[in-house]
Amino acid sequence: MFRPQIKVIDCTIRDGGLMNNSNFTFETVRAIYQAVCASNVDIVEIGYRNSKEMFSPAKYGLWRFCDDEVLKKLTDGIETTTKLAVMQDAHKAIAEDLSPKSESVVDMVRVATYVKDIDKAIKLANNATDKGYEATINIMAISHALDRELDEALQQVEEETKVVACYLVDSFGALYSEDVDYLVHKFQRYLKTKEIGVHFHNQQQLGYANTIEAIIKNANYLDGTLYGLGRAAGNCPLELLIGFLKNPKFDLRPLLAIIEKEILPMQKEIQWGYTIPYMIAGLLNCHPEAAMEQMNAESGSAKKLDFVKFYEKMAGADA
């Protein structure tokens, strides 16, 4: 039996864009958008609406900015009930970049934030709801959040915003199922009028399993990406999540087809998925940046450490 309150969000292009500076071609993104819509996934997050003052449009692709005219062209002629979302980073986006909802095909703005930037995030989320959008606040790096600070932030989200959901984001792929239980319960204690969302990374191959755990604990906003494409080891694979959920409206087949056609060929250019450097970062609850540098370091260079040296370096840095 399925739970109708559950909303599935595909964020393939948005999170995958962290691996290639959001440099996907328009045709690829339109094909993926069309497939996700055809599968009846509830929401598709197509990229960031971040500031061109903080990201150079010469270096970053269209999907770091998601200009309204680009999104209009992207969605043109595709009939769908799937909502369109963009993400704003609390510390890298500005309110003025969001036009009123009446001038945009965007339905939802998700604001990503560290606990310390919660006031910036609330300002951006309120800007979005004031302009007519649905909004969420997604608290990143949750495995580094101090309880006292997180408690206060959640209280603020409950009292000061009209977001539909507040997310716990396991940016470092460090959470175990016990941690998921603990955090979902904490979020529920504070967020009496919001849904709980979850976004997991796969550094320890737990992205999908932790999503199931969160479903059992009544989280209802669930992020996934096609074949797990996303930062470092990637995310909860959308195809596994759709296979698990029993809502008959979902159709797995368009997702399988687009993985074959568009996602697998990207493996030549983008290295995501489980590897030992990412596993070490997740195990040690570290930002994946150092592991990504290891993955990209040239064989034989001084920067390229063997696995044991990398582990010892990372473990030592944590002490």
Binding mask of the shown chain, residues 214 to 233, with x at each position contacting a second copy by CB under 8 A: --x----------x------
CA 224 to chain centre: 8
Decide whether 17 or 237 has the Cβ nearer to a second copy. 237
When binding is defined by CB under 8 A, the residue of 248, 306, 316, 319 that contacts a second copy is: 306
For the chain, the residue count is 319
Q: Does the protein bind a second copy through residue 259 (CB under 8 A)?
A: yes
Q: Does the protein bind a second copy through residue 55 (CB under 8 A)?
A: no
Span interacting with a second copy, options 22-30, 54-62, 158-166, 210-218, rule CB under 8 A? 210-218
SS (H, E, C) the chain: CCCCCCEEEECHHHHHCCCCCCCCCHHHHHHHHHHHHHCCCCEEEEEECCCCCCCCCCCCCHHHCCCHHHHHHHHCCCCCCCEEEEEEECCCCCHHHCCCHHHCCCCEEEEEECHHHHHHHHHHHHHHHHCCCEEEEEECCHHHCCHHHHHHHHHHHHHHCCCCEEEEEECCCCCCHHHHHHHHHHHHHHCCCCEEEEEEECCCCCHHHHHHHHHHCCCCEEEEEHHHCCCCCCECEHHHHHHHCCCCCCCCHHHHHHHHHHHHHHHHCCCCCCCHHHHHHHHCCCCCHHHHHHHHCCCCCCCCCCHHHHHHHHHHHCC
When binding is defined by CB under 8 A, the residue of 20, 129, 177, 188 that contacts a second copy is: 177
Decide whether 66 or 281 has the Cβ nearer to a second copy. 281
- Minimal distance in Å, beta carbon 247 to a second copy? 15
- Are the beta carbons of 167 and 198 closer than 8 angstroms? yes
When binding is defined by CB under 8 A, the residue of 78, 95, 308, 317 that contacts a second copy is: 308
When binding is defined by CB under 8 A, the residue of 38, 94, 270, 276 that contacts a second copy is: 276
Cα–Cα dist 95/114, whole Å? 18
Span interacting with a second copy, options 136-144, 154-162, 234-242, 287-295, rule CB under 8 A? 234-242
When binding is defined by CB under 8 A, the residue of 260, 267, 296, 317 that contacts a second copy is: 260
192 burial level (CB within 10 Å; 0-12, 13-18, 19+): exposed
When binding is defined by CB under 8 A, the residue of 139, 279, 286, 292 that contacts a second copy is: 279
- Size, binding site for a second copy by CB under 8 A: 37
When binding is defined by CB under 8 A, the residue of 38, 94, 283, 297 that contacts a second copy is: 283
Span interacting with a second copy, options 73-81, 103-111, 145-153, 275-283, rule CB under 8 A? 275-283
When binding is defined by CB under 8 A, the residue of 176, 186, 188, 313 that contacts a second copy is: 176
Q: Does the protein bind a second copy through residue 153 (CB under 8 A)?
A: no
When binding is defined by CB under 8 A, the residue of 39, 204, 220, 235 that contacts a second copy is: 204
Residues interacting with a second copy, by CB under 8 A?
176-178, 202, 204-210, 212-213, 216, 227, 237, 239-240, 243-244, 252-253, 256-257, 259-260, 273-274, 276, 279-280, 283, 306-308, 311-312
